[in-house]
Amino acid sequence: MVNKNHNLNIIFKFGIIYGSIMRIGLTTTVPVEPIFAGNHIPTDLNNIFITSENPEYYVEKAEVDGFPYNSCSWIKGLYSVALNKGFDAVIGVVRGDCSNTESLLDFLSFKGIKVIPFSFPYDKSRKKLEDEIKRFIELLESNEDNMKNTIDIVDKARRLAWIIDELTLKDLVSGLENHYYLVNTSDFFGDISVYIKKAENFIKEANNRNKIEYNLRIGYIGVPPIFTDIYNFLEKNGVHVVFNEVQRQFSMPFPEKDWIDKYLEYTYPYTVQDRLRDIKNEIGKRKIEGIIHYVQSFCHRQIIDYIIKDSIDIPVLTIEGNRPGVLDERTKIRIESFIDMLL
């Protein structure tokens, strides 16, 4: 059913205050502290989409509703999940994530879903980000005491994610496990205490394992993969993925920064040069021998693939995925050839 007054659903614009717990869908990583401090439940729509039993269903559903075939499958998946799972609102990053998000929010609003836009400032102005977060805090009714506690708890959870990342460098945690714990720092499974418990148990277990055996250390950069089996495929071919660029950024790995500055250090919403500084630093630190750059079909971020390739001194293989599912044979052969070349 189409809501003819869809603009009324833009919470930001009309300042609607709910005063009750909301189940909030996220299109990507946003400052999560005000959401938890307002006692709301965040859910990263990407994670629901890609871990569902049939992600292709969500892509097709969006196409049936009017999304172009030649548009990003992630966006289509987010749209259908947001519609199907009964969220009270969806927060979408309209500057600093995806050029499609404004249209996605328009479409969701058109369908009657309440949407909350959020922007990371292009010029990395602390003042602009503070103003944006302040608006967020007011909108989500996150009181000051709750904010203080939440900032500490989120920090505690992130520190566990950083330990898991360190254990990956020490060959005790696989690339897939690293991906799992880092990518889920966008919403902490909707309940930080669950994340903390799970991560603490995992760290104990990982510390008592034998080291992973491998032939090659690889870094994965770019948006998280729509391929569901890429980490398993790499592991079977003797590759240890010791760096997941964007997933690691989701965990805000900047212990020395205050909670707002973390969102300015976070490289993903800003320029490719910010990302390259981080990637180059980690290549050295993690002794990475080759990079797999994942790009998504119809994604504007493909444009910077050339800059990345031209700026990194070790071999880079760019692979592209479109629909959700397992790796296609052509991409498998390209990855195997890349591995052979590096060995």
Q: How far is the CB of 97 from ligand SF4 (least distance, A)?
A: 6
For residues 74 and 180, which CB has a smaller minimum distance to ligand SF4 in the complex? 74
Single residue of 114, 179, 217, 301 touching ligand SF4 by CB under 6 A? 301
* Residue 74 CB, nearest approach to ligand SF4 (Å): 4
Nearer to ligand SF4, 261 or 320 (CB): 320
Q: Which stretch binds ligand SF4 (CB under 6 A): 37-45, 239-247, 273-281, 294-302?
A: 294-302
Is there binding between residue 100 and ligand SF4 (CB under 6 A)? Answer: yes
State how far the Cα of 157 lies from the Cα of 197, in Å rounded to an integer.
Answer: 9
Q: Tell whether residue 93 is a contact of ligand SF4 (CB under 6 A).
A: no
CB 97 within 8 A of CB 268: yes
Q: How many CB atoms lie within 10 A of CB 279?
A: 22
173 is an interface residue for ligand SF4 by CB under 6 A = no
Give me 17's structure tokens: 């205050």
223 binds ligand SF4 (CB under 6 A): yes
Q: For residue 140, give both structure tokens.
A: 């989500």
Q: Cα separation of 334 and 316, whole Å?
A: 12
In the complex with ligand SF4, the residue whose CB is nearer, 216 or 223, is: 223
Closest CA to 250 of 179, 314, 201: 179
Least separation in angstroms between CB 26 and ligand SF4 = 12
The least CB distance from residue 300 to ligand SF4, in Å, is: 6
Q: How far is the CB of 296 from ligand SF4 (least distance, A)?
A: 4
Tell me how many degrees the CA angle 269-292-305 measures, rounded to the nearest 5: 50
98 binding ligand SF4? (CB under 6 A): yes
| Residue of the chain from 105, 129, 299, 339 that contacts ligand SF4 (CB under 6 A) | 299
296 binds ligand SF4 (CB under 6 A): yes
Work out how close the CB of 75 gets to ligand SF4 at its nearest, in angstroms, rounded to a whole number: 5
**178 makes contact with ligand SF4 (CB under 6 A):** no
Site string for ligand SF4, 58-77 (x = CB under 6 A): --------------x-xx--
Smallest distance from ligand SF4 to CB 317, Å? 18
DSSP label at 328? P
Give the nearer residue to ligand SF4 in terms of CB position, either 248 or 301: 301
Q: How far is the CB of 186 from ligand SF4 (least distance, A)?
A: 13
Contact yes or no for 172/209 (Cβ under 8 A): yes
Calculate the dihedral angle through the C-alpha atoms of 325, 327, 329, 332, rounding to the nearest 10 degrees.
180
Say which residues have a Cβ less than 8 Å from residue 110's Cβ, sequence separation at least 6: 2, 3, 6
> Which of 196, 216, 212, 214 has its CA nearest to residue 204?
196
Residues 116-135 interacting with ligand SF4 (rule: CB under 6 A) = none
CB nearer to ligand SF4: pick between 39 and 318: 318
Binning the chain into helix, strand and coil, the percentages to the nearest 5 are 55, 15, 35
Radius of gyration of the chain, Cα coordinates, nearest whole angstrom = 20
Complex with ligand SF4: residue 196 or 304, whichever CB lies closer: 304
In order, the DSSP letters of 179-199 are: HHHHHGGGTGGG-HHHHHHHH
Q: Which is nearer to ligand SF4, 36 or 74 (CB)?
A: 74
Closest CA to 280 of 239, 234, 245: 245
Site residues (vs ligand SF4, CB under 6 A):
72, 74-75, 98, 100, 223, 296, 299, 301
